[in-house]
Amino acid sequence: MSFPIKLLNNKKALRVNKVKDEKVLKIKRECDQYYDWYRSTGSQVFKDMLTVKKKRLRQALKEARCKKTEDIILTSENKTRAMWNMINSQCNRKMTSQAEGSNLNAAQLNTFFTEKVQEIIKVIGTSNIATEHKYYLRNTAKPESTFSFKLVKVQDVTNILRKMKNSFSNDVYSLSSAMLKCDSVKLPELITRVVNTCILDAQFPKALKFVKVTPIHKKGSLSSSDNFRPVSIVPILSKVIEATLNNQIVKYFEENKIFTDSQFGFRSGLGTVKSA
């Protein structure tokens, strides 16, 4: 038994079946029409027209995909995450599991992550980054008013809790944002007292400086610490305190125009998508 040799066309086919753009579909119908005419007549004129239409179709597809990607990012709640999801999908980045077992323990990973932090601190201390902020502040108009933290109200804490995502990830004290959001009456009052005590005493509780660190495998061997990245779960009460203080700092910076126009991250209404 034998089979005839089949020649395969290695050219990538233009994938139009998932595109709903009317302009693209119209050009695709024209390409199909010229293709049928060329196959039935063998005319060079129809072949040349098909080549032109295919070039237009590729350009139209590119524009339609860019528009779709832009719409998905701009309509997403987390625009930065949506942007990176798009990038990773285009690069075909997927988490692959390793059959090889890991002989690392918590102490080894903890030592590795701690040493990395110390290395970063040394690099920052010897670079110009440590002094660049002083140059910027010297060339920024001095605000007319001075800054000081103000006591917060129960409603301020309530608003922060409402904006938090319903995460069930527990911190080192087995607390989560979903748990705090269950009581919208008593808990905000208690948390407000804690926040105001921190402001009055000018101290951040040491108990809230402990974080739960989970090593996430990136790639490669599971037996190498270099192939893991740490994900920290900060105490939920710490997040509430930081949010209340951050709101006051950001408000002062915005009102006194201290932020540079080049900063897009961590500002309301701005982001890395707009900076690009």
Domain boundaries, the chain: 22-90, 137-275
Q: What is the mean pLDDT of residues 258-269?
A: 74
Among 205, 264, 198, residue whose Cα is nearest residue 234: 205
b/e per residue 58-84 (b: at least 16 CB within 10 A): eebbeebbeeebeeebeeeeebeebbe
pLDDT of res. 272:
63
Whether this model's pTM surpasses 0.75: no
- Does residue 208 surpass a pLDDT of 90? yes
Band of the pLDDT at 125, cuts 50, 70, 90? low
Cβ-based neighbour number of residue 252 at 10 Å = 16
User: Percentage of residues in the chain with pLDDT exceeding 90?
Assistant: 19
Band of the pLDDT at 152, cuts 50, 70, 90? very high
Euclidean distance between CA atoms 208 and 212, whole angstroms: 11
Q: What is the pLDDT of residues 166-203, one digit of tens each?
A: 888 889 998 888 888 887 778 899 999 999 999 999 99
CB 113 within 8 A of CB 230: yes
Cβ-based neighbour number of residue 217 at 10 Å = 15
Among 56, 54, 74, 78, residue whose Cα is nearest residue 66: 74
Euclidean distance between CA atoms 45 and 209, whole angstroms: 74
Band of the pLDDT at 273, cuts 50, 70, 90? low
